[in-house]
Structure 1
Amino acid sequence: MLIVYHSQSGSAAKLAAAGFEGALEHDPKVRFLRAADAGTAEVLASTGLLLVCAENSGRLAGGMKDFLDRIFYPLIEQQCSLPYALLVSAGNDGRGAVAEAQRIFKGIPFTEALEPLIIRGVPDDGVLQNAREYGAGLATGLEMGIF
Protein backbone atom coordinates (compact mmCIF):
# COMPACT_ATOMS: atom_id res chain seq x y z
CA MET A 1 0.00 0.00 0.00
CA LEU A 2 1.14 3.53 -0.76
CA ILE A 3 0.07 6.71 1.03
CA VAL A 4 0.71 9.90 -0.93
CA TYR A 5 0.02 13.28 0.63
CA HIS A 6 0.33 16.99 -0.06
CA SER A 7 0.01 19.57 2.68
CA GLN A 8 0.71 23.27 2.93
CA SER A 9 -0.84 24.19 6.28
CA GLY A 10 0.04 20.92 8.00
CA SER A 11 -3.52 19.64 8.42
CA ALA A 12 -3.34 17.15 5.55
CA ALA A 13 0.09 16.01 6.76
CA LYS A 14 -1.38 15.24 10.21
CA LEU A 15 -4.23 13.31 8.62
CA ALA A 16 -1.81 11.40 6.38
CA ALA A 17 0.42 10.51 9.34
CA ALA A 18 -2.60 9.23 11.25
CA GLY A 19 -3.71 7.16 8.24
CA PHE A 20 -0.18 5.78 8.00
CA GLU A 21 -0.23 4.75 11.68
CA GLY A 22 -3.49 2.88 11.14
CA ALA A 23 -2.28 1.21 7.95
CA LEU A 24 0.96 0.07 9.60
CA GLU A 25 -1.04 -2.05 12.02
CA HIS A 26 -2.12 -4.23 9.08
CA ASP A 27 0.61 -3.71 6.48
CA PRO A 28 4.19 -3.32 7.71
CA LYS A 29 5.29 -2.63 4.12
CA VAL A 30 3.09 0.45 3.65
CA ARG A 31 4.98 3.36 2.08
CA PHE A 32 4.41 7.00 3.04
CA LEU A 33 5.50 9.71 0.58
CA ARG A 34 4.95 13.38 -0.12
CA ALA A 35 3.29 13.94 -3.50
CA ALA A 36 6.42 15.76 -4.71
CA ASP A 37 8.51 12.64 -3.97
CA ALA A 38 6.14 10.03 -5.43
CA GLY A 39 5.74 8.96 -9.02
CA THR A 40 4.68 6.22 -11.36
CA ALA A 41 7.22 3.66 -10.11
CA GLU A 42 5.98 3.91 -6.53
CA VAL A 43 2.35 3.58 -7.60
CA LEU A 44 3.12 0.57 -9.81
CA ALA A 45 4.88 -1.12 -6.89
CA SER A 46 1.85 -0.76 -4.61
CA THR A 47 -1.29 -2.80 -4.03
CA GLY A 48 -3.48 0.20 -3.31
CA LEU A 49 -3.30 3.95 -2.86
CA LEU A 50 -4.41 6.30 -0.10
CA LEU A 51 -4.35 9.87 -1.34
CA VAL A 52 -4.42 12.59 1.33
CA CYS A 53 -4.66 16.18 0.23
CA ALA A 54 -6.04 19.60 0.92
CA GLU A 55 -8.76 21.42 -0.88
CA ASN A 56 -7.79 24.85 -2.18
CA SER A 57 -10.49 27.17 -3.54
CA GLY A 58 -12.85 24.21 -3.91
CA ARG A 59 -10.35 22.15 -5.96
CA LEU A 60 -7.48 19.72 -5.41
CA ALA A 61 -4.41 21.43 -4.01
CA GLY A 62 -1.79 22.14 -6.67
CA GLY A 63 0.84 19.74 -5.32
CA MET A 64 -1.58 16.80 -5.46
CA LYS A 65 -2.83 17.82 -8.88
CA ASP A 66 0.80 17.88 -10.07
CA PHE A 67 1.32 14.33 -8.76
CA LEU A 68 -1.81 13.08 -10.52
CA ASP A 69 -0.82 14.86 -13.75
CA ARG A 70 2.61 13.19 -13.66
CA ILE A 71 1.27 9.66 -13.17
CA PHE A 72 -1.89 9.81 -15.31
CA TYR A 73 -0.66 8.83 -18.78
CA PRO A 74 2.16 6.52 -17.64
CA LEU A 75 -0.32 4.51 -15.53
CA ILE A 76 -2.75 4.28 -18.42
CA GLU A 77 0.07 3.04 -20.67
CA GLN A 78 1.03 0.45 -18.03
CA GLN A 79 -2.64 -0.59 -17.73
CA CYS A 80 -2.42 -0.05 -13.98
CA SER A 81 -5.67 -0.39 -12.11
CA LEU A 82 -5.55 -0.12 -8.33
CA PRO A 83 -8.02 0.35 -5.51
CA TYR A 84 -7.77 3.78 -3.92
CA ALA A 85 -9.17 5.85 -1.09
CA LEU A 86 -9.24 9.61 -0.77
CA LEU A 87 -8.93 11.69 2.39
CA VAL A 88 -9.46 15.44 1.93
CA SER A 89 -8.66 18.21 4.40
CA ALA A 90 -11.20 20.87 3.49
CA GLY A 91 -11.44 24.53 4.27
CA ASN A 92 -14.59 24.74 2.14
CA ASP A 93 -16.83 21.70 1.75
CA GLY A 94 -14.38 19.31 0.04
CA ARG A 95 -16.77 18.10 -2.63
CA GLY A 96 -14.99 19.89 -5.50
CA ALA A 97 -11.65 18.28 -4.63
CA VAL A 98 -13.28 14.86 -4.34
CA ALA A 99 -15.05 15.23 -7.70
CA GLU A 100 -11.83 16.31 -9.41
CA ALA A 101 -9.86 13.36 -8.00
CA GLN A 102 -12.62 10.90 -8.89
CA ARG A 103 -12.66 12.12 -12.52
CA ILE A 104 -8.90 11.63 -12.76
CA PHE A 105 -8.97 8.16 -11.20
CA LYS A 106 -11.84 7.07 -13.41
CA GLY A 107 -9.66 7.86 -16.44
CA ILE A 108 -6.70 5.71 -15.37
CA PRO A 109 -8.89 3.61 -14.30
CA PHE A 110 -8.63 3.11 -10.55
CA THR A 111 -11.38 1.63 -8.37
CA GLU A 112 -12.72 3.49 -5.37
CA ALA A 113 -12.21 1.15 -2.40
CA LEU A 114 -13.63 3.38 0.33
CA GLU A 115 -16.02 6.28 0.24
CA PRO A 116 -14.01 9.54 0.34
CA LEU A 117 -13.47 10.99 3.79
CA ILE A 118 -13.73 14.77 4.00
CA ILE A 119 -12.39 16.46 7.11
CA ARG A 120 -13.46 20.06 7.58
CA GLY A 121 -11.41 22.41 9.73
CA VAL A 122 -8.41 21.75 11.93
CA PRO A 123 -8.04 18.05 12.78
CA ASP A 124 -8.58 17.29 16.47
CA ASP A 125 -7.91 14.01 18.28
CA GLY A 126 -11.25 12.51 17.24
CA VAL A 127 -10.67 13.36 13.59
CA LEU A 128 -7.14 11.95 13.71
CA GLN A 129 -8.59 8.72 15.12
CA ASN A 130 -11.00 8.62 12.17
CA ALA A 131 -8.03 9.02 9.82
CA ARG A 132 -6.20 6.15 11.59
CA GLU A 133 -9.25 3.93 11.17
CA TYR A 134 -9.56 4.97 7.51
CA GLY A 135 -5.94 3.96 6.82
CA ALA A 136 -6.42 0.73 8.76
CA GLY A 137 -9.61 -0.01 6.84
CA LEU A 138 -7.93 0.34 3.47
CA ALA A 139 -4.93 -1.76 4.56
CA THR A 140 -7.20 -4.45 6.00
CA GLY A 141 -9.34 -4.59 2.87
CA LEU A 142 -6.24 -4.90 0.69
CA GLU A 143 -4.79 -7.59 2.97
CA MET A 144 -8.03 -9.59 2.84
CA GLY A 145 -8.41 -9.20 -0.92
CA ILE A 146 -11.70 -7.32 -0.59
CA PHE A 147 -10.57 -4.48 -2.85
Structure 2
Amino acid sequence: MARLLIVHHTPSPSMQTLLESVLEGARNDEIEGVEVVTRPALGATVPDVLAADAVIVGTTANIGYMAGAVKHFFDTVYYPCLTDTTGLPYALYVHGNNDTTGAVRAVEAIAKGMSWERHRPPVSVIGEVGRDDREACWELGAVCALAALERSGEE
Protein backbone atom coordinates (compact mmCIF):
# COMPACT_ATOMS: atom_id res chain seq x y z
CA MET A 1 0.00 0.00 0.00
CA ALA A 2 1.22 3.49 -0.84
CA ARG A 3 1.77 5.95 2.00
CA LEU A 4 1.12 9.69 1.97
CA LEU A 5 2.66 11.52 4.92
CA ILE A 6 1.13 14.83 5.97
CA VAL A 7 3.41 16.80 8.30
CA HIS A 8 1.66 19.84 9.70
CA HIS A 9 1.81 22.65 12.21
CA THR A 10 -1.79 23.48 13.04
CA PRO A 11 -2.00 26.13 15.78
CA SER A 12 -5.05 28.02 14.50
CA PRO A 13 -8.58 27.49 13.20
CA SER A 14 -7.43 28.56 9.73
CA MET A 15 -4.71 25.90 9.66
CA GLN A 16 -7.17 23.32 10.99
CA THR A 17 -9.55 24.12 8.11
CA LEU A 18 -6.75 23.75 5.57
CA LEU A 19 -5.57 20.47 7.11
CA GLU A 20 -9.09 19.06 7.07
CA SER A 21 -9.45 19.98 3.40
CA VAL A 22 -6.13 18.31 2.55
CA LEU A 23 -7.21 15.18 4.44
CA GLU A 24 -10.59 15.06 2.69
CA GLY A 25 -8.88 15.18 -0.69
CA ALA A 26 -6.26 12.61 0.25
CA ARG A 27 -8.91 10.25 1.60
CA ASN A 28 -11.18 10.62 -1.41
CA ASP A 29 -13.17 7.40 -1.93
CA GLU A 30 -12.09 7.31 -5.57
CA ILE A 31 -8.44 6.85 -4.57
CA GLU A 32 -7.72 3.36 -3.33
CA GLY A 33 -4.52 1.84 -2.03
CA VAL A 34 -3.15 4.87 -0.19
CA GLU A 35 -2.64 5.04 3.55
CA VAL A 36 -2.78 8.64 4.76
CA VAL A 37 -0.58 9.26 7.79
CA THR A 38 -0.71 12.59 9.62
CA ARG A 39 1.94 13.81 12.01
CA PRO A 40 2.27 17.09 13.86
CA ALA A 41 5.58 18.61 12.81
CA LEU A 42 7.08 18.16 16.28
CA GLY A 43 6.16 14.46 16.25
CA ALA A 44 7.19 13.46 12.73
CA THR A 45 10.17 11.13 12.62
CA VAL A 46 12.82 9.83 10.27
CA PRO A 47 10.98 6.47 9.92
CA ASP A 48 7.80 8.37 8.97
CA VAL A 49 9.62 10.06 6.09
CA LEU A 50 11.50 6.94 4.99
CA ALA A 51 8.20 5.02 4.79
CA ALA A 52 6.46 7.75 2.75
CA ASP A 53 5.82 7.66 -0.98
CA ALA A 54 4.87 11.37 -0.95
CA VAL A 55 4.83 14.16 1.63
CA ILE A 56 2.61 17.19 2.19
CA VAL A 57 3.91 19.89 4.51
CA GLY A 58 1.54 22.38 6.13
CA THR A 59 2.90 25.44 7.92
CA THR A 60 2.04 28.87 9.12
CA ALA A 61 4.07 31.82 7.91
CA ASN A 62 5.64 33.34 11.00
CA ILE A 63 7.67 36.54 10.79
CA GLY A 64 8.59 35.82 7.18
CA TYR A 65 9.54 32.18 7.76
CA MET A 66 8.06 28.72 8.22
CA ALA A 67 6.83 27.71 11.66
CA GLY A 68 9.56 26.71 14.09
CA ALA A 69 7.93 23.31 14.47
CA VAL A 70 8.28 22.67 10.73
CA LYS A 71 11.91 23.85 10.81
CA HIS A 72 12.47 21.38 13.66
CA PHE A 73 10.96 18.62 11.51
CA PHE A 74 13.35 19.40 8.67
CA ASP A 75 16.32 19.66 11.07
CA THR A 76 15.43 16.22 12.42
CA VAL A 77 15.02 14.41 9.09
CA TYR A 78 17.39 16.26 6.77
CA TYR A 79 20.60 14.23 7.03
CA PRO A 80 19.11 10.85 7.97
CA CYS A 81 16.76 11.01 4.95
CA LEU A 82 18.99 12.88 2.52
CA THR A 83 20.12 10.02 0.30
CA ASP A 84 17.16 7.67 0.75
CA THR A 85 14.37 10.06 -0.28
CA THR A 86 15.76 11.51 -3.49
CA GLY A 87 12.90 12.27 -5.87
CA LEU A 88 10.24 12.08 -3.17
CA PRO A 89 7.16 14.00 -4.36
CA TYR A 90 6.14 16.76 -1.98
CA ALA A 91 3.66 19.59 -1.78
CA LEU A 92 3.11 22.51 0.54
CA TYR A 93 0.27 24.56 1.97
CA VAL A 94 0.92 27.75 3.92
CA HIS A 95 -1.25 30.22 5.80
CA GLY A 96 -0.22 33.73 6.79
CA ASN A 97 -1.93 36.87 7.94
CA ASN A 98 -0.21 39.12 5.41
CA ASP A 99 2.57 37.29 3.53
CA THR A 100 3.72 33.72 2.91
CA THR A 101 6.64 34.35 0.56
CA GLY A 102 9.43 33.70 3.06
CA ALA A 103 7.84 30.52 4.40
CA VAL A 104 7.33 29.12 0.88
CA ARG A 105 10.90 30.02 -0.12
CA ALA A 106 12.36 28.39 3.01
CA VAL A 107 10.46 25.10 2.66
CA GLU A 108 11.22 24.89 -1.06
CA ALA A 109 14.93 25.53 -0.44
CA ILE A 110 15.14 22.71 2.11
CA ALA A 111 13.12 20.32 -0.07
CA LYS A 112 15.38 21.12 -3.02
CA GLY A 113 18.41 20.45 -0.83
CA MET A 114 16.93 17.05 -0.03
CA SER A 115 16.35 16.45 -3.76
CA TRP A 116 12.60 16.14 -3.24
CA GLU A 117 10.44 16.94 -6.26
CA ARG A 118 7.70 19.52 -5.94
CA HIS A 119 4.56 17.80 -7.16
CA ARG A 120 2.28 20.86 -7.18
CA PRO A 121 2.72 24.59 -6.69
CA PRO A 122 2.20 25.58 -3.06
CA VAL A 123 -1.24 26.54 -1.83
CA SER A 124 -0.64 29.91 -0.24
CA VAL A 125 -3.47 31.43 1.80
CA ILE A 126 -3.39 34.94 3.23
CA GLY A 127 -6.02 36.04 5.72
CA GLU A 128 -9.42 34.38 5.94
CA VAL A 129 -9.70 30.90 4.47
CA GLY A 130 -12.25 30.90 1.64
CA ARG A 131 -13.98 28.28 -0.46
CA ASP A 132 -11.32 28.47 -3.20
CA ASP A 133 -8.59 27.89 -0.59
CA ARG A 134 -10.39 24.85 0.78
CA GLU A 135 -10.86 23.47 -2.74
CA ALA A 136 -7.18 24.06 -3.56
CA CYS A 137 -6.17 22.13 -0.43
CA TRP A 138 -8.63 19.33 -1.23
CA GLU A 139 -7.06 19.05 -4.69
CA LEU A 140 -3.57 19.14 -3.18
CA GLY A 141 -4.44 16.19 -0.95
CA ALA A 142 -5.99 14.20 -3.80
CA VAL A 143 -3.18 14.71 -6.32
CA CYS A 144 -0.53 13.97 -3.72
CA ALA A 145 -2.30 10.74 -2.79
CA LEU A 146 -2.15 9.81 -6.46
CA ALA A 147 1.55 10.76 -6.54
CA ALA A 148 2.18 8.43 -3.60
CA LEU A 149 0.35 5.66 -5.42
CA GLU A 150 2.38 6.24 -8.57
CA ARG A 151 5.72 6.30 -6.71
CA SER A 152 4.90 3.11 -4.86
CA GLY A 153 4.13 1.35 -8.12
CA GLU A 154 0.71 0.29 -6.82
CA GLU A 155 -1.41 2.04 -9.46
TM over 0.5: yes
Higher helix share: 1
Q: How many residues align?
A: 144
Aligned to 2:93: 87
Aligned to 1:20: 23
Aligned to 1:115: 121
Unaligned 5+ segments in structure 2 are none
Q: Deviations for 1:8-53, whole angstroms, at most 9, x for unmatched residues?
A: 2232232112101110112541111111111111011110000011
Unaligned 5+ segments in structure 1 are none
Alpha-carbon separation, structure 1, partners of 2:134 and 2:9 = 16
Pick one of 4, 24, 27 that aligns with 2:7.
Answer: 4
Identity of aligned residues (%): 31
The yes-or-no answer on 1:34 pairing with 2:40 is: yes
**C-alpha contact (below 8 Å) 2:89/2:147 kept by paired residues:** no
SS in 1 for 2:98: coil
The yes-or-no answer on 1:96 pairing with 2:102 is: yes
Equivalent residues in 2 for 1:104-143, closer than 5 Å:
104-143=110-149
TM-score of the aligned structures, taking structure 2 as reference length: 0.85
SS in 2 for 1:118: strand
Alpha-carbon separation, structure 1, partners of 2:35 and 2:57 = 17
Alpha-carbon separation, structure 2, partners of 1:10 and 1:71 = 27
Alpha-carbon separation, structure 1, partners of 2:51 and 2:147 = 18
Give 1:137 deviation, angstroms. Answer: 1.6
Q: Deviations for 1:85-120, whole angstroms, at most 9, x for unmatched residues?
A: 011112222111011011111111211111111011
**C-alpha contact (below 8 Å) 1:6/1:13 kept by paired residues:** no
SS in 2 for 1:11: helix
Give 1:73 deviation, angstroms. Answer: 1.0
SS in 2 for 1:93: coil
TM-score of the aligned structures, taking structure 1 as reference length: 0.89
Equivalent residues in 2 for 1:64-75, closer than 5 Å:
64-75=70-81
